Structure 1
């Protein structure tokens, strides 16, 4: 293990080494091409090529260099490790609120995610993020334990007036909270009366608040006291597929909302 750790350290201590090995993993390249691609100086590049040759990670191929089978293996695995650590670093600030037990996908798929957290100047930033997604979406699907006023307003306007299609699955408590307010009840009734919208009630626990807008999956993150701490959204196909599968499951197991239930 010590030898393997030494090799990891050897690569990790030099971004130039990683760049050169990855460049040669892709295709054979001349020294000039490697300098142009990595920005490494000629002396630095010479040392790197010598060290890689001694390890049998690369081989000379005429006037160029190419990665060997073991070189490609090392480059691929080290790149995976870097990407994993980059993703972990990105998620670290919100990890304590991520409902990982409910998320049926590899967390590495969140490497492209947009994380939105409240700040002193923008305390409502997580909600504003989902509103932005709702504003430009043509198709919206939601499964959630809550349905906030801002989202209802945007979805009602975009659906009733602008042709957005909407399907939502909510817990009865989420709809009851809206129905108790006469103004919100009126907006909800108008939404459910539109042919482009359908709302269903799920008679059970919905532990997540997920919005799918076209090709984006958005998730609210709350703490153990229910306080909104962050929002995370991703266009990764695996994350979106998970959200869509989860939505369809709730949809099939729910019943249509009767407008009379809003009274």
Structure 2
């Protein structure tokens, strides 16, 4: 299967989606416009806000919002609608592609299932019209191929001479822009539960670098899946562990505490958010106490806010990034694990940003509110 006809499985809906169709529907319908409108207004917005801004039929907006929610690009809480990190990255990927070709050209290119394969075939060698019958897996008629090539020549994507057609540099740029968009959208679909929960301010991840990342989802039907994955990541060969947690889990915290007490694990540093820190203080089965004399020792650093993100950095070789529900007690978690250098670098930069904001417990007012 080529990039031109790639499919992606959406874990949120269980649908297998044709990426080209998703791009075309965003362009040919008002779906992209709805997403842009939400982004241009102050989040969160209501459906009435969107309808008043772009004035389509109310039912059409509702349909688009349902699809965008299924894709993980918007979240809806009662009547409030806001863009997710996935929605922001979706718009960014489109904007990058549209620097090379227009919405009209992108819509034309993705409207049928043969235009992209014709253009892609020409990247390897020039072809005459009749030669496409063997070059393509499912070729259309010669007359259809001629019409497509004529359109491509008019746009300077393809050049023709002596009956042969070859792709131009402009055509290669167009194909490259589409390929990048399709690759990004594939990851946004396949990692949708994670992008749906990732805080929008962290929508800076290099999307395509997630292709080899492992996704784990925890929900009421599989409540321990992410915890099991997190515990399995422990590796005695890791020299240094840095972590951030925005949710308290007794088993995970006690396990890492024992590893530290008996010096059987890596040197590690942990950041927790404010609610997690006070949960540590209150929970009798953990028995944590602030050590006033141990400012550079084993006490966690504390973010003086609540958060919905978890970070684990294993040396500089592997990272785990967990994203939690914005509301609730974290029963719904999505986590990616990656060894890709680009994702590792992104996660370390993210961790260091929060570390600069964190305080030692002795610098805080020790009251929950």
Could you say whether these structures have the same fold, taking a TM-score greater than 0.5 normalized by the shorter chain as the test? yes
* Alignment of 1:145 onto 2:246: yes
> Is residue 97–residue 222 contact of structure 1 (8 Å, CA) maintained in 2?
yes
1:216 aligned to 2:319?
yes
Match of 1:78 in 2: 178
Q: In structure 2, what is the Cα distance between the partners aligned to 1:224 and 1:242? A: 25
Q: Which has the higher helix share?
A: 1
Q: Equivalent residues in 2 for 1:22-101 (5 A)? A: 22=120, 24-25=122-123, 27-28=124-125, 40=137, 48=145, 51-52=148-149, 55-56=152-153, 57-59=157-159, 66-90=166-190, 92-93=192-193, 96-101=196-201
Superimposed CA distance per residue, residues 204-251 of structure 1 (whole angstroms, 9 cap, x where no aligned partner): 115243222332241232132334322132535554434322322443
TM-score normalised according to structure 2 size = 0.51
Tell me whether 1:155 sits opposite 2:256 in the alignment: yes
C-alpha displacement at 1:68, in angstroms?
A: 0.5
- The one of 314, 322, 331 aligned to 1:228: 331
Separation (CA, whole Å) in 1 of partners of 2:350 and 2:103: 41
Aligned pairs for 1:149-228 (under 5 A) are 149-156=250-257, 160=262, 162-171=264-273, 173-185=275-287, 198-202=298-302, 204-214=304-314, 215-228=318-331
Relative to structure 1, the CA distance from residue 149 to residue 66 in structure 2 (aligned partners, 3 Å threshold; closer, same or farther) is: farther
Does the 8 Å CA contact 2:274/2:303 hold for their aligned counterparts? yes
For this pair of structures, how many residues does the alignment match? 248
State how far apart, in whole Å, the 2-side matches of 1:70 and 1:117 are. 42
1:248 aligns with 2:352: yes
RMSD: 4.5
Structure 1 residue 90 displacement after superposition: 3.5
Residues of 1 paired with 2:236 and 2:119: CA distance? 42
Equivalent position of 2:231 in the other structure? 131
1:122 aligns with 2:219: no
Give the TM-score of the pair, scaled to structure 1: 0.67
Residue segments in structure 1 that go unaligned for 5+ positions in a row: none
Q: Secondary structure at the match of 2:305?
A: coil
1:163–1:202: structure 2 CA closer, same or farther, 3 Å change rule?
closer
